[in-house]
Amino acid sequence: MAVSDRVPVTGGRRLCLRWGITLAVLIAAGGVLASHWGTLDSGTDQLAAADDEWLLLACCATVATWVCAAVAQQGAVVERLPRGRLVAAQFAACAANHILPAGAGASLVNLRFLTRCGLSTRRSATALAVKAAVGGIVRCVLGVALLVASPGAVPVSARVPHALVLVPVVAAAVGSAVLASGRLRRAVGRAVTDVREVHRSRGRACALWGGSVAFALLHAGVVVAVVHALGLTLPTSHVVMAYVVASGAAALLPTPGGLGSLDAALAFALTAAGAPGQTAISAVIGYRLLTGWLPMAPGLLVLGLLARRSAL
């Protein structure tokens, strides 16, 4: 009894610690915003005067990210999933992801969706892990490829520490080391079996990897379109690298939807790439508006509708 009584206490303490860290990060972010409110207000004004055609393109890229997420999720399982509900689930997961920290919202929605589609909880969790791992690998490879193809994509010698550019690579190495630990070897062994089943089908493998690549590039494309809408002439490779670095750095902080962590990292990376401070903030506001704030209310409505129809 004594041992069983300790388990929920430990879990509760861990949950409180996670939410405490999240709250501290949000409070710190609020303090930074308050101290730079004039710059933020000016950035909002710049966004209001942005080019409508580029913003429309950014909207289209945002919608396409949900389709690519659905394609990648289908590629992570052998069973055929209902296409319409799968895309709707990714839209709802996007909204849930901005409520719970560290991607927990999207994971819970997709886990529930996959189990409703007939997959066991273990296989559903494995499919989500495979999709997340492939997404991380894609971002790392994309960052390294940009550095090799365009060494000047981020002017690290002037304004960005060299180590920051390698954050996604370091994160992947740490994740690999954790997976290699003894406690997770058996779970990894079971996951490898499912991964092999997926990759036996060329179509499934292409959907998994192609959807993950397109998802990352389209998110970067939203930033690129917003930057162009604001009249900046930064090279596309610089902006894409800024997003890759920022998203890799934000993954290390468990804030809802990367709120605060991604915003600060992206603004810093864009400034380092040559954007003025106020314009970089405008770009971050535009990216966050299109990918998070505007889809929030309809996404939650879709989430409720899917739950009402027993799709979740």
19-77 pLDDT, tens digit each:
554 455 445 445 544 444 444 555 566 667 778 899 999 999 999 999 999 999 999 99
- Mean pLDDT across the chain: 76
pLDDT score of 14? 53
Q: Would you state the structure tokens that stand for residue 157, as one six-digit string?
A: 């010698």
Give me the half-sphere count of Cα atoms (radius 13 Å) on the Cβ side of residue 66.
24
pLDDT score of 3? 41
pLDDT score of 157? 41
Q: Please give the radius of gyration of the chain, using alpha carbons only, rounded to the nearest integer.
A: 20
State the average pLDDT over residues 83-93: 93
pLDDT score of 247? 81
pLDDT score of 97? 81
- For CA atoms 58, 165, 127, 210, give the dihedral sign: positive
Q: Would you state the structure tokens that stand for residue 304, as one six-digit string?
A: 């409720």
| Number of Cβ atoms within 10 Å of the Cβ of 94 | 24
Q: Would you state the structure tokens that stand for residue 256, as one six-digit string?
A: 């809802």
Instruction: Name which residue leads in pLDDT, 98 or 39.
Output: 98
- CA 200/CA 194 separation, integer angstroms: 10
Instruction: Name which residue leads in pLDDT, 301 or 250.
Output: 301
Q: What single DSSP character describes residue 182?
A: G
Instruction: Name which residue leads in pLDDT, 248 or 119.
Output: 119
Q: Which of 3-7, 73-77, 201-205 has the lowest mean pLDDT?
A: 3-7
pLDDT at 216 over 50: yes
pLDDT score of 225? 94
pLDDT score of 20? 55
pLDDT in tens, 154-201: 554 444 444 444 555 555 555 555 545 555 556 666 666 767 777 788
pLDDT in tens, 242-294: 888 888 776 666 565 556 677 888 888 888 888 888 888 888 888 988 888 88
Q: pTM, whole model, 2 decimals?
A: 0.74
Task: Determine the residue type at 114.
Answer: L
| Number of Cβ atoms within 10 Å of the Cβ of 131 | 23
Residue 256's beta-bridge partner residues?
Answer: 101
Residues 291, 294, 295, 300, Cα dihedral to 10°: 130
pLDDT score of 271? 87
The closest of 179, 142, 312, 166 to 252, measured between CA atoms, is 166
Locus of tokens 């206490």:
9
The closest of 73, 110, 12 to 215, measured between CA atoms, is 73
Give me the half-sphere count of Cα atoms (radius 13 Å) on the Cβ side of residue 43.
23
The closest of 225, 33, 255 to 247, measured between CA atoms, is 255
pLDDT score of 180? 52
The closest of 86, 62, 57 to 294, measured between CA atoms, is 62
Q: What single DSSP character describes residue 54?
A: H
- CA 264/CA 246 separation, integer angstroms: 8
Q: What single DSSP character describes residue 276?
A: -
Contact predicate 283/44, CB 8 Å:
no
Helix runs in the chain, H state only: 2-35, 37-48, 52-75, 83-97, 104-116, 121-149, 162-165, 167-179, 185-199, 202-229, 236-250, 261-272, 277-288, 294-308
The closest of 198, 179, 200 to 123, measured between CA atoms, is 198
pLDDT score of 163? 46
- CA 3/CA 19 separation, integer angstroms: 25
pLDDT score of 254? 58
